[in-house]
Chains A and B, each alone.
Chain A
Amino acid sequence: MTFRSAVITFPGSNCDRDMAVAVEQVCGGDVHRVWHGDANLPEGLDFIALPGGFSYGDYLRSGAMAARSPVMQAVIAAANRGVAVLGVCNGFQVLTEAGLLPGALMRNAGIRFVCREVALQVENNTSIFTNRYFKDQRITVPVAHHDGNFFADEATLDRLEGEGQIAFRYAEEVNGSVRNIAGVLNAKGNVLGMMPHPERHIEKAQGGIDGRALFESVVRSLVSA
C-alpha cells in the first residue's frame, strides 16, 4: 500500500518544503501539498504534517489564526478519526491553539529568539512517532523559535507524565518550558507536537540525521499497521 501524506501550507509557513522533502525521502509514497484555504483534505491520508513558520504573521498569538483556518477543521476531523498528525514548531503552536494538544506555547523565558541545535531526550519510545528511538536516547535536533515556552497547569502536567504523553524533553535549558517539555502527544497517541525540527536533520549534509528516525517510525507504524 502506498503511504499517503499531506503537508499543510499556511500563509507565512516557511518549513513546508523541508517537511515535504523529509516525508518524501524517508516515508516515500504520495506527498500532497495542501493550502490553508482548502476545506477538504485528499482522501485516505495516513499522515498530516503542520510545518514551522510564522502563519498569518503570528497575529494575535502564534498559531491562533491558523488554528481557525478552513483546512484546520478538516485536520481536526482527521485527527479525531485517528489519522497521524505531526506539528513542528509553528505546527505545534497551531495544534495547541486548535485544542488537539494540551497546554500553550508562550514567549521564550529568555525573551530572545533561540536558533541552534539542542540536545533532546526521548521520553516515550512506544508512540507511532518515536518507536525507532531508544528510551532515554539523547538526540540532537535544531530549534528556531521565539514562542517555544511550553506551559500547562500542574494537574495537566501530572496527567501527561502519567499517561506517557511527553514524547521529548530538552536535555538542557532552552526556552523555559515547564518540566523541560519539548514535545507532547495527545491522549490517543496519534497527534504529536514538538518545537524542535526533526525535518531539518534527516541527512548528513544538514549536519545531523537524528530527526530521521521520527519519520521512519511513522512509516513503519502506519504501513505495517
Chain B
Amino acid sequence: MKVRVFVSLKNGVLDPQGRAIHHAIEGLGFSGVADVRAGRMIELEVDDTVTDAALDQMAQKLLANMVIENYSIERVAA
C-alpha cells in the first residue's frame, strides 16, 4: 500500500521559500495568487501490517520537525 506523508510549515512560521516561489510566479505574469507555502511530500510503500500509530511515530520522530512543521498522512488505495 502506498502512503503519502505531507509535511508543511506551521501557520505563523515564515516561509522564505514559499515567498520566493510566490515572487517567481508573479514574475511569470500570473496574477491572483495570494500566498504560497512550500512543503514536501514523502511517499512510502508499506505492507498492511504498518499501523496508523506507526506512521504517526515515523512522521513525528523523523519525517517532520514538530518544532516548525505539521504533517498529514494519506493512505492511497492500490
Residue B20, interface by CB 8 Å = yes
Q: A104, B62: Cβ atoms under 8 Å?
A: no
A104 touches B16 (CB 8 A): no
Q: CA–CA, A151 to B63, complex, Å?
A: 18
- Out of B16, B65, B67, which one reaches A107, CB within 8 Å? B16
Residues of B within 8 A of A108 (CB): 16
Interface centre among B13, B17, B63, B68 (most CB of A within 10 A): B68
Is A222 interfacial (CB-CB < 8 Å)? no
| B25 in the interface (beta carbon within 8 A) | no
Say whether A68 contacts B67, CB under 8 Å: no
**Given A111-B20, A151-B13, A106 and B63 touching (CB < 8 A)?**
no
Cβ-based interface call for A109 (8 A): yes
Q: Cβ of A109: which chain B residues have Cβ within 8 Å of it?
A: 14, 16
Contact B17 A64 (CB under 8 A): no
Judged by a CB distance under 8 angstroms, whether A123 is at the interface is no
**4 closest Cβ contacts across the A-B interface?**
A104-B67, A104-B68, A107-B16, A111-B20
Whether a CB of chain B sits under 8 angstroms from the CB of A180 is: no
The listed residue (B16, B62, B68) touching A110 by CB distance below 8 A is B16
Residue A152 CB within 8 A of the other chain: yes
Q: Which of B1-34 contact A (CB under 8 A)?
A: 13-14, 16-17, 20
- In this complex, how many residues of chain A approach chain B with their Cβ under 8 Å: the count is 20
On chain B, the residues within 8 Å of A60 by CB distance are 62-63
Binary contact readout B27-65 vs A (1 if CB under 8 angstroms, 0 otherwise): 000000000000000000000000000000000001101
Give the complex CA separation of A153 and B22 in angstroms.
25
A137, B20: Cα distance in complex, Å = 36
A96 close to B (CB within 8 Å): yes
Instruction: Tell me the bound Cα distance from A119 to B73 in angstroms.
Output: 43
Any B CB within 8 A of the CB of A164: no
A174 to chain B, nearest CB (A): 14
User: Contact: B65 with A64, CB < 8 Å?
Assistant: yes
Bound-state Cα–Cα, A96 to B65, Å:
10
Minimum CB–CB distance for B2 against chain A, Å? 19
* CB<8 Å pairs between A and B, sample of 14: A60-B63, A61-B65, A68-B62, A96-B67, A102-B67, A103-B67, A104-B67, A106-B13, A107-B17, A108-B16, A109-B14, A111-B16, A111-B20, A152-B67
Kindly state whether residue A189 has any CB partner on chain B within 8 Å.
no
Give every chain B residue within 8 A of A149 (Cβ-Cβ). 16
Interface pair B14/A111, CB less than 8 Å apart: no
Which listed residue, B17, B62, B65, B67, touches A111 by the CB 8 Å rule? B17
Cα separation A210 to B63 with both chains bound (whole Å): 38
Which residues does chain A contribute within 8 Å of B65, judged by CB atoms?
A: 61, 64, 97, 104
